[in-house]
Amino acid sequence: MASSYVPVLLLIAFVVANAALIIGLSHLTVRQRPTPEKQTPYESGIPPLGDARERFSVKFYMVAMLFIVFDIETVFMIPWGVGYRQLSCGVPLAGGSCPAGHLVWFGLGEMLVFMAILLAGFVYVWKKGALQWD
Amino acid sequence: MLLPASLPPMLQRIVDPQAPPADVGFFGPIGVPLIYTIVKLLIVFTVYMVGVALLTLAERKISAWIQDRLGPNRVIKGWGQPLADGVKNFMKEETLPDAANKPLFLLAPAMAFIPALTVWAVIPFAAPLPLRWGRMDMVLADLPIGYLYILALASLGVFGVVLAGWASNNKYALLGGLRSSAQMVSYEIAMGMSTVPILLLAGDVSLSTIVRQQEQNGWYVLTLTVACFIFIVSAFAETNRLPFDLPEAESELIAGYHTEYSAMKFSLFFIAEYANMVTASALMATLFFGGWTVPFWHAVNNAPWAWWKTAITLGAFLFKVLFFLFFYMWIRWTLPRFRYDQLMSLGWKILLPLTIGYVVVIAGATLGLDALGVPRTPWHGWPVYSLCLLALNIGLIGLLFVVADRGRLISPASARVRAAELARLRAVRQRSTLAHEATSGAGD
């Protein structure tokens, strides 16, 4: 099965080479005539005031942290989703479907517990005002 | 055609066109899989690059059409415009701000370009093509992890944007980069979760299985309508398109994260943006609209394969993708831009709880239908299972738009005014009407 990943590696190598080629070629073909004015950061025509790298709103950090938490929750849900049919069947699946009388609540119950924990965190974050942008 | 096992390797070139090429390893004696891969890679990459160029023209032409003006019509009646733009971008001088972080400034366009042009690898785009050397599957790599690969690479796109914003050392670029990264990560969660119901039904992350399932049991847009809706909304946000184009809101941030970029580096961002649009459209078509399959025409969607079947299914796939690309442009000139706090609250407070609830509903519904003994495969030619899910989805959509909305999102302007304010306005209006009547009456 490992050989099915070779095309992807080839593609990535090809695209990386293309990106390098485009950036490199445009560097070689174009004559640069830098002037001090041209090299200043663009600020709608006035001389730039101070540095751009100042402190920015803490909300962006909040979003980044929440993203990591919830993205990992999503990643956990994907294998559960794929295995859901087997998880809600007491015996091994026969031809992709569960033999009659063997359905179990395990798959759904497990995810409901997981979701309840996730939801508790979500409600806490919401009530704390972390999702409030004003 | 059966072949005796004793044939020398070179003669195995005459193989069954319906079967995949003889498994002699990827770089094996003949290397047919390698040749197939290179052919597909070059063709699709070229199609992407040319398609992106034509898409910029299409965007301007469709914008012009919607706004009742002409659009580009000079360079070969407008058709040469993408070529002219490309040549111009190659000839332009590139500026490099003194204050910028130079290695990162150079790296950022490549970081945006590379993920955008590699995501398509796992999307199947047509029926397999039978050839003399064995079957050519119309997907670059049918990875068993299919959809996970897309999620992983699509989330790399944010690095190019945030690096560009930071490395430019420009206030507009920094704000654009920050906004963009926050927006992309917020909607990525909704996008990832909205596809979990698909995995529940398909039971696999391989995109060819998902397409095959839809061919048998009906498109997922019918059985998972709410998920489709959420996916389309988040895909618009992920690609930074209107109504979610705050990262480059021209009226406030000049050009957002690529303000300091010019010439070919700007082009790389531009190509990446449009390539992301194409990929998102292809994903919508593949995940929810049956991929390359043609509805109600089982003969063309199934073996034995033939070249005309490949041609027809390729046409069907392109039609779906082009429709979604048109949809992108249509939406652009239909909806106004969101405010940033509205954007964030839509992502976190509406779409996220909605998707979580929807996953639970679909998981419960499939378990319930299994418990009732509804067969997953069509029963007497009727896809009963899908019809039950369709009915459920129609109910949910109704619930969503009629009950849960309560005039907040879809409402006349008067509904957004507080009741007391509305009463005051009505009283003022009544008084002025009375006064008007009184004065006009006196004039008679």
Nearest-CA distance B175 → chain A (Å): 9
Residues of A with Cβ-Cβ distance to B140 under 8 angstroms: 7-8, 11
- Whether B349 sits inside 8 A of A131 (CB atoms) is yes
Question: Out of B169, B199, B376, whose CB is closest to A53?
Answer: B169
Query: B260 touching A, CB under 8 A?
Result: yes
Task: Specify whether the CB–CB gap between A80 and A107 falls below 8 A.
Answer: yes
- Whether B118 sits inside 8 A of A11 (CB atoms) is yes
User: Is 50 exceeded by the pLDDT of residue B1?
Assistant: no
Residues of B with Cβ-Cβ distance to A112 under 8 angstroms: 360
User: Is 60 exceeded by the pLDDT of residue B218?
Assistant: yes
Q: Which residue has the higher pLDDT, A45 or B434?
A: B434
- Whether A78 sits inside 8 A of B196 (CB atoms) is yes
Q: Spell out the long-range contacts of B45-48 with Cβ–Cβ below 8 A and sequence spacing 24 or more.
A: B45/A11, B45/A14, B45/A15, B45/A18, B45/B117, B48/B117, B48/B120, B48/B275, B48/B278
Least confident piece of the model among B6-15, B36-45, B117-126: B6-15
CATH architecture of A2-128: Up-down Bundle (1.20)
Nearest-CA distance B37 → chain A (Å): 6
Query: B16 touching A, CB under 8 A?
Result: no
Residues of B with Cβ-Cβ distance to A99 under 8 angstroms: none
> Which residues lie closer than 8 Å to B41 by C-beta, 6 or more apart?
A7, A10, A11, A14, B140
Given this model, what pLDDT does residue B61 score? 92
User: Is 90 exceeded by the pLDDT of residue B319?
Assistant: yes
* Domain locations along chain A: 2-128
Nearest-CA distance A92 → chain B (Å): 14
Contacting B residues, span 265-304, partner chain A, CB-CB under 8 Å: 265, 267-268
Share of chain B above pLDDT 90, in %: 23
User: Is 60 exceeded by the pLDDT of residue A128?
Assistant: yes
**Average of per-residue pLDDT across B348-358:** 89
Given this model, what pLDDT does residue B55 score? 92
Residues of B with Cβ-Cβ distance to A19 under 8 angstroms: 109-110, 113-114, 268
Least confident piece of the model among B325-339, B405-419, B429-443: B405-419
> Which residues lie closer than 8 Å to A113 by C-beta, 6 or more apart?
none
d(CA B259, CA B255): 5
Residues of A with Cβ-Cβ distance to B371 under 8 angstroms: 103
Confidence of residue A130 (pLDDT cuts 50, 70, 90): confident
User: Is 90 exceeded by the pLDDT of residue B2?
Assistant: no
Question: Out of A34, A60, A119, whose CB is closest to B178?
Answer: A60
Q: Which of B62, B54, B60 is nearest to B80 (CA)?
A: B54
Given this model, what pLDDT does residue B11 score? 47
Query: B186 touching A, CB under 8 A?
Result: yes
Q: Is the four-CA dihedral B236, B240, B245, B250 of positive or negative sign?
A: negative
Instruction: Report the complex ipTM.
Output: 0.89
**Average of per-residue pLDDT across B396-402:** 83
Given this model, what pLDDT does residue B27 score? 57
- Whether B185 sits inside 8 A of A64 (CB atoms) is yes
Contacting B residues, span 108-167, partner chain A, CB-CB under 8 Å: 109-110, 113-114, 117-118, 121-122, 140-144, 148-149, 166
DSSP class of residue B23 equals -
Question: Out of B114, B140, B263, whose CB is closest to A19?
Answer: B114
Highest mean pLDDT among A61-75, B236-250, B413-427: A61-75
d(CA B273, CA B279): 10
Confidence of residue B15 (pLDDT cuts 50, 70, 90): low
Question: Out of A74, A88, A108, whose CB is closest to B189?
Answer: A74
Mutation target for A interface from B40, B87, B117: give the one with most A CBs within 10 A: B117
One-letter amino acid of B49: M
Contacting A residues, span 44-73, partner chain B, CB-CB under 8 Å: 44, 48, 51-53, 56, 59-60, 63-64, 66-67, 70-71
- In Å, what is the CA distance from B434 to each residue of A39, B27, B33, B422? 66, 90, 85, 18
Residues of B with Cβ-Cβ distance to A126 under 8 angstroms: 349
Given this model, what pLDDT does residue B415 score? 57
User: Is 90 exceeded by the pLDDT of residue B372?
Assistant: no
Q: Which of A85, A82, A112 is nearest to B361 (CA)?
A: A112
- Whether B113 sits inside 8 A of A111 (CB atoms) is no
Given this model, what pLDDT does residue B281 score? 94
| B356 → chain A, closest CA residue | A115
Q: How many CB pairs under 8 A join A and B?
A: 223
Quick check: pTM over 0.90? no
Task: Specify whether the CB–CB gap between B33 and B147 falls below 8 A.
Answer: no
- Whether B94 sits inside 8 A of A12 (CB atoms) is no
User: Is 60 exceeded by the pLDDT of residue B393?
Assistant: yes
